[in-house]
């Protein structure tokens, strides 16, 4: 099958970060595993942070992550860009800069090898944009195409952000619009408007580099990125790790154009339901919040934005510096309550 007539999304059941294993199942396994202990391991999988942190020498640490998934777009080059931007994001979410990456590729034998080349070129373009290099990787034959990166950055220990440390009174900032999973679901059956698809693709291919580079000028108490476990899932991890609750105003959420209308029509990825099953007892909604907004809060994002927890004044200056309509203060941190997140 040549690059010209390939439709990558027709070869997959789930796509992008929506292909993640349901969080309930994942945690049931991970939580049963013995911890790998080392005096140099500062952050491991037990903390649910975005990347591991390992002391290299003195106060220098490595920040390392790995991420790959099936395609959510048909164009191979764009798929490579999205997958690379998504993998690089985990290092940005730790406050770091990517330095070196390795390719991970699963490729069907029925596809023309130029499709693989275009995917890899797409990934390379984003790694170059990040100022990093790709130095090898691993490829296997697989009926379902998948692509991603293992990414490593190096930084000073005291500059690392964590998904723990949010403080009551902090403002909550989100740097990209929500609704990517909903739009991608509709696009697979040609029901999403071209404008919505373009906006979703632009969001997914945009690095979180600018957001990180701007945020390091300010105080960041906690940070994560919003991907497959949704705003509710990743926000809940911060709330739990920090011993606080979050109040989020749904009217202030940035949203991909058309996503709410598509949600109301039922174009919802499976991950939306597995996220809710994991979190429903930990989330509270005001009675006035309509169903489409509730769907949005559980929508699995692919290459989503950074979720930053900052002093109010710093958050306002950060948003002004970013100067993007999708970068907004969406709520505040409260003392710990009965629920992890209160949507109002």
- The residues carrying an active-site annotation are 17
Q: 230-242 vs 291-298: helix axis angle to the nearest 10?
A: 70
Q: What gap in Å lies between CA 55 and CA 272, rounded to an integer?
A: 36
- What single DSSP character describes residue 57? E
The per-type count for the chain, helices as H runs and strands as E runs, is: 11, 13
**Cβ 257 vs Cβ 194: under 8 Å:** no
**Cβ 285 vs Cβ 294: under 8 Å:** yes
Q: 270-279 vs 291-298: helix axis angle to the nearest 10?
A: 90
- What single DSSP character describes residue 301? P
Q: Which one, of 173, 322, 320, lies nearest residue 246 by Cα?
A: 173
Which residue, chain included where needed, has tokens 């029901």?
191
For residue 309, what are the β-bridge partners? 172, 222
Which residue, chain included where needed, has tokens 């929508």?
299
Strand 98-107 relative to strand 146-156, pairing: antiparallel
Give the gyration radius of the chain's Cα atoms. 19
| Other CB atoms within 10 A of residue 102 CB | 15
CA dist 183 to 80, 147, 192, 204, Å? Answer: 19, 21, 6, 12
CB-neighbour burial class of residue 74 (10 A; exposed 0-12, middle 13-18, buried 19+):
middle
């Amino acid at each position: 099958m040549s690059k010209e007539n390939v439709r990558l999304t027709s070869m997959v059941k789930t796509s992008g970060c929506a292909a993640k294993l349901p969080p309930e199942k994942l945690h049931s396994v991970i939580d049963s595993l013995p911890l790998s202990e080392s005096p140099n391991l500062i952050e491991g999988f037990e903390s649910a942070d975005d990347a591991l942190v390992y002391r290299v020498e003195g106060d220098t640490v490595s920040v390392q992550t790995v991420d790959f998934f099936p395609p959510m777009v048909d164009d191979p080059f764009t798929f490579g860009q999205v997958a690379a931007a998504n993998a690089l994001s985990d290092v940005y979410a730790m406050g770091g800069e990517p330095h070196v990456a390795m390719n991970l590729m699963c490729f069907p034998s029925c596809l023309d090898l130029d499709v693989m080349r275009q995917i890899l070129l797409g990934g390379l373009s984003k790694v170059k944009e990040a100022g990093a290099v790709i130095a090898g990787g691993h490829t296997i034959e697989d009926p379902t195409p998948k692509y991603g990166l293992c990414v490593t950055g190096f930084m000073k220990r005291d500059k690392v952000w964590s998904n723990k440390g949010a403080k009551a009174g902090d403002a909550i900032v989100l740097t990209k619009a929500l609704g990517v999973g909903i739009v991608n679901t509709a696009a697979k059956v040609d029901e999403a408007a071209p404008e919505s698809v373009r906006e979703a693709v632009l969001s997914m291919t945009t690095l979180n580099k600018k957001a990180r580079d701007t945020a390091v000028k300010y105080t960041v108490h906690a940070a994560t990125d919003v991907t497959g476990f949704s705003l509710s899932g990743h926000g809940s991890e911060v709330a739990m790790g920090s011993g606080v609750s979050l109040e989020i105003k749904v009217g202030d959420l940035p949203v991909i154009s058309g996503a709410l209308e598509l949600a109301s029509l039922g174009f919802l990825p499976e991950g939306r339901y597995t996220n809710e099953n994991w979190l429903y007892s930990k989330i509270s909604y005001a009675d006035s919040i309509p169903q489409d907004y509730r769907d949005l809060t559980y929508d699995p994002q692919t290459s989503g934005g950074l979720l930053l927890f900052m002093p109010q004044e710093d958050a306002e200056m950060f948003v002004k510096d970013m100067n993007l309509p999708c970068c907004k203060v969406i709520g505040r941190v409260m003392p710990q309550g009965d629920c992890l997140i209160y949507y109002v």
